Amino acid sequence: MTATASVGEAEQGGMSPSSEAIGLRAPAFQRILERLGSLWTFGVLVVIVVAFGIAAPSLYTKAAWLSTSEYAVEYLILAAGQTFVIVTAEIDLSDGAILGFSALAGSLLMNNLLNHHLDGGLTTFLGIVVMLASGTGVGLLNGLLTVKLRIPSFIVTLGMMIAVGYGAVNLLTNGNEISNLPSQVLAIGTVSVLGGWLPVPVLVALGVALLTGLALARTRFGLRTFAIGSNRLAARRAGVAVNRHIVWCFGLSGFLAGIAGLMVTANLSTASTIAGQNDELYAIAAVVIGGASLFGGRGSIFGTLIGTAVIAVLTTGLVLANVSAFWQYVAIGAVVIVAVAIDQVRTRTAD
Amino acid sequence: MGQSLRIGGSRAVKSDIVVTDGGPPGAGGAAPAVEVRGITKRFGSVLALRGADLALYPGEILGLVGDNGAGKSTLVNIISGAVAPNGGEIFVGGQKVHIGSPLDARRYGIETVYQDLALAPDLSVWANVFLGRERIVRGPMRYFGWLDRRAMASEAREQLDRTRIRIDSVDALVGKLSGGQRQAVAVGRSAAWGSRVLLLDEPTAALGVEQQERVGELVRNIAAHGLPVLLISHNLPQVHELCSRVAVMFQGRVIATVKTSESSIDEIVSWITGAALVTRRAE
């Protein structure tokens, strides 16, 4: 080891001294940011939780936590799938639309089965299967169109968002919402544990975050996801089935949008044609605040979790502090831009 | 067609121009590690390779030189599985093989270091070394493709140490390494996995003089451990210094294989430009 280390120094000493020197002369704040990594967003979260707590102490109540976590569930589940897609340097603009579509498709089926007096438990099961399958199906279609037709995923999923999110959902029910649902579905939204602090949807979202986080950071699938986003040609040359992998990532994003659709339906006791609209923007914002690069190769589910929490706390906090709802959008938009700007400064040092 | 006449469209002319005085190194008669015979490749109406022959022997560094368009890259891409030939045979360790993809080539122990290095800057050194052949843990977690990160890190360390690659930490992101270190990682990775031959495509084109020296040392080191190296380069002084033999391509064929101990750079240049052909035919 010592031998290696000493030659290592020799290598660095002789190696392009100019670039090394530039790295060392970077401004102190850049180096501090680099050290912090993406942890700085966690600091931002702590700051806004404390700041809003002072401005509006009701932030620390159970009611505030429950309403905050209700937003967060929807965004977190979507953003987890979006993280995989963004890490491969693609994007999924349609996950909000898939949420709405799968929720409505499953609810439509459940509504029909209930009208035919089918058992509520079986109806719920079939409804969930349809939600997850339709979500996965649209997601896989996104992926296939992207890799087979070689159309940028931005375009494919933009088209899918419009076609599915505004077209298909209204075609399914002639624009009506569905609220005749089995009690078992509604139970998902109302049952909770830990004295009411942890509703089932929150548990599901945290479970999704944990599993996807481990999959991204610790498995072969995750490593290859990063490799594809970092250098697609290199991944291909290393024997990674790049196209198939990208299709799976879109499929995962669609599958999770199906889960999110189920959670939203359970929370609202209704499947509406506007469910999920604009959610993709928050999901992307959460991923980006969490430190992922839209150019691929970087990102983490933990970062995405923090990003989602920042958005959710900001939303609730501003409401509780009696700030006009319109300012929420300004605040969230500003956070996205600031997050990426800070990230730019950080990576510029690294390069 | 005039061209093909000059360099030999017929067998008679062909035998005329293939120079064998550079022959296999050492009279021992060891079998070639990798050999290609009569490789042809057509891109549309362009004949990129017109029956290229090349043999690479254990432990040698063989230079592959030629003008732009002479067919070097095509030949290397065929051996590394990136391009499928139209005709000809490939032998690995004396066995005739079919190489249909880069994965096939790797299965036969043929590793390639690409000009762009093919590294993922956002991944650690060990992840780059193991990308595509990740180590998975034993036990139930293997069904999830759970990575054995510790095993990969320590194996990558060993692999790089064996080829005397100097990297302080295999956990470092490749994007944070210097150009020379990245080059070393790419070469070390291929050297570690390759069991038959290492193909190096313009390995020092983007490097400074000192770094070129280091890569040269590295290549010598690899060959000394028995892994033959095919070095494709425009840098003739470097080729002349590093290689024991140099194969020269001209218009889709290997027209000469010379020993560097017996030929000057000028002589190699005369083969590259085709001037030597004219002289030989005049004799």
Least confident of A152-156, A216-220, B166-170: B166-170
CB contact under 8 A, A218 and B149: yes
Strand, helix or coil for residue A194: coil
Tens of pLDDT, residues A200-210: 999 999 999 99
Tell me the shortest Cα–Cα distance from B2 to chain A, in angstroms: 39
- Continuous segment of H or E residues that includes residue B87: strand B87-92
Q: Which helix (H) or strand (E) holds B259?
A: strand B253-259
Quickly state the pLDDT bin for A349 (edges 50, 70, 90). Answer: low
User: pLDDT for A238-292, tens place per residue?
Assistant: 889 999 999 999 999 999 999 999 999 999 888 888 998 889 999 999 999 898 9
A63 touches chain B (CB under 8 A): no
Size of interface A-B (CB pairs under 8 A): 102
ipTM above 0.85, yes or no: no
Q: Which pLDDT score, from 0 to 100, does residue A166 have?
A: 92
Integer CA distances (angstroms), A247 to A98, B5, B144, in order: 16, 51, 18
List residues bridging with B257 in a β-sheet.
Answer: B247
**Cβ-defined contact of A229 to B211 (cutoff 8 Å):** no
Q: Are A223 and B131 a contacting pair at CB < 8 A?
A: yes
Q: Out of A5, A15, A233, whose CB is closest to B211?
A: A15
CB distance B120–A231 less than 8 Å?
yes
The 8-class DSSP code of residue B30 comes to P
Cα nearest neighbour of A10 on chain B = B166
Task: Using alpha carbons, select from B50, B112, B45 the residue that is nearest to residue B76.
Answer: B112
Alpha-carbon span B10 to A294, nearest angstrom: 57
Beta bridge partners of A192: A199
With an 8 Å Cβ cutoff, is A229 touching chain B? yes
Residues A80-106 have a mean pLDDT of: 96
Interface check for A239 against chain B (CB to CB < 8 A): the answer is yes
Contacts A7 to B, Cβ<8 Å: 164, 166
Q: How far apart are CA B178 and CA B181, in angstroms?
A: 5
A31 burial class (0-12, 13-18, 19+ CB within 10 angstroms)? middle
Of A4, A223, A229, the CB nearest to B147: A223
| Furthest C-alpha separation in chain A | 80
Instruction: State how far residue A193 is from chain B, nearest Cα, in angstroms.
Output: 29
Which residues fall within 8 angstroms of residue A267, CB to CB, at 6 or more apart? A70, A73, A189, A201
Average pLDDT on A32-45 reads: 72
Residues of B with CB under 8 A from a CB of A: 102-103, 106, 112, 114, 116-123, 127, 131-134, 136, 144-147, 149, 161, 164, 166-168, 175-176, 178-181, 208, 210-211, 214
Above pLDDT 70, what percent of chain A? 87
Express as a percent the part of chain A with pLDDT over 90.
53
Cβ-defined contact of A239 to B132 (cutoff 8 Å):
yes
Region of B113 please: left (phi>0), alpha (psi -120 to 50) or beta: beta
CB B48 within 8 A of CB B267: no
Q: Which of A88-92, B22-26, B27-31, B145-149 has the lowest mean pLDDT?
A: B22-26
Residue B266 is predicted with a pLDDT of 86
Chain B residues touching A15 at Cβ < 8 A: 178-181, 210-211
Backbone angles phi, psi at A311, to 5 degrees: -65, -45
Give the bridge partners for B230, in sequence order.
B62, B199
Q: From the list A11, A218, A240, which residue is nearest B181 (CB)?
A: A11
Identity of the residue numbered A281: L
Look at residues B63, B7, B57, B3 and name the one whose alpha carbon lies nearest to residue B255. B7
**Which pLDDT belongs to residue B136?**
94
Q: pTM score, two decimals?
A: 0.83
* A286 in Cβ contact with A311 (< 8 Å): yes
- Residue A214: predicted pLDDT: 96
Per mean pLDDT, which range of A232-236, B56-60, B215-219 is the poorest? B215-219
Nearest to B147 among A219, A235, A298 (CB): A219
CB B126 within 8 A of CB B96: no
pLDDT at B95 exceeding the cut of 70: yes
Position B262, amino acid = E
- Is the per-residue pLDDT at A350 higher than 60? no
Do the chains contact at B122 and A229, CB–CB below 8 Å?
A: yes
Is the pLDDT at A12 greater than 90, yes or no?
A: no
- Strand B197-201 relative to strand B46-56: parallel, antiparallel, unpaired? unpaired
Please judge whether A218 and B147 are an interchain contact, meaning their C-beta atoms are less than 8 angstroms apart: yes
Q: Tens of pLDDT along A180-198? A: 888 888 888 888 888 888 9
